[in-house]
Amino acid sequence: MRKNIVITGASSGLGEGMARLYAAQGRNLALCARRTDRLDALAGELKPATVVTRGLDVNDHDDVFAAFKEFRERLGGLDRVIVNAGIGKGQPVGTGRFDANKQTLETNFVSALAQCEAALEIFREQNHGHLVVVSSFAKLRGMAGNTTAYAASKAGLSSLADGIRLDLAKTPIKVTALMPGFIESGMNVRDGKNPLVAKAETGAKALVKAIETEKAKAYVPTFPWAPLSVVFRVLPDAVMRKLV
């Protein structure tokens, strides 16, 4: 069993949900996010589980490496790192919001790379570990409108995970890429009108279940997103333009 688990972006949404489930299983948790007040409140609710928290902006790449090393020291080693921190900002390209699109790509891809690098430096030294990256169903196709940069960032992250997995194929280190569909979270608030949006608790349980299999890839929840992944790849562009 992977005992010591790092979760980034753990102050809300899917990160918080996974933390609650793993704490209930008796795992040791290292939780980080920008909002330390929410992290500390969450840690108080997870007692008597062993939980350490630390403020972290994943766009401060030097601090990502420092944080993971600190977590390793405080927990006595790391067994799993869940790269979960991300944002859903974005605007149509060429509409004057390069700042938002750049921030999305930097946070979801470049900063995810920093987290992967920091985790794998530790895993390679230990010769064991499980890297989990939270990508998105949106990685399957280029998306229009406000989701163009987001989908591109998640496509890059999924490709990164694939490459890391190939590189580590002959080692004890495992790599899993998760592709969640619509799950209630800070980026995707359930409005009650979309039947495809899973409740936060359901989504978190599906994520943890998929992580524990340590498979290379998983659509989450499996139904309807695994079957839909086949359909999504062949949708005509005219239909894709409406999925904004």
Q: Which residues are catalytic?
A: 150
Q: Supply the DSSP symbol for 34.
A: S
Report the alpha-carbon distance of residue 162 to residue 50 in Å, rounded: 32
Report the alpha-carbon distance of residue 29 to residue 230 in Å, rounded: 35
Report the alpha-carbon distance of residue 4 to residue 14 in Å, rounded: 18
H helices, E strands: number in the chain:
9, 7
Report the alpha-carbon distance of residue 22 to residue 185 in Å, rounded: 18
What is the bridge-based pairing of β-strands 4-8 and 51-55?
unpaired
- Cβ atoms of 16 and 43 within 8 Å: the answer is no
Q: What is the CA radius of gyration of the chain?
A: 17
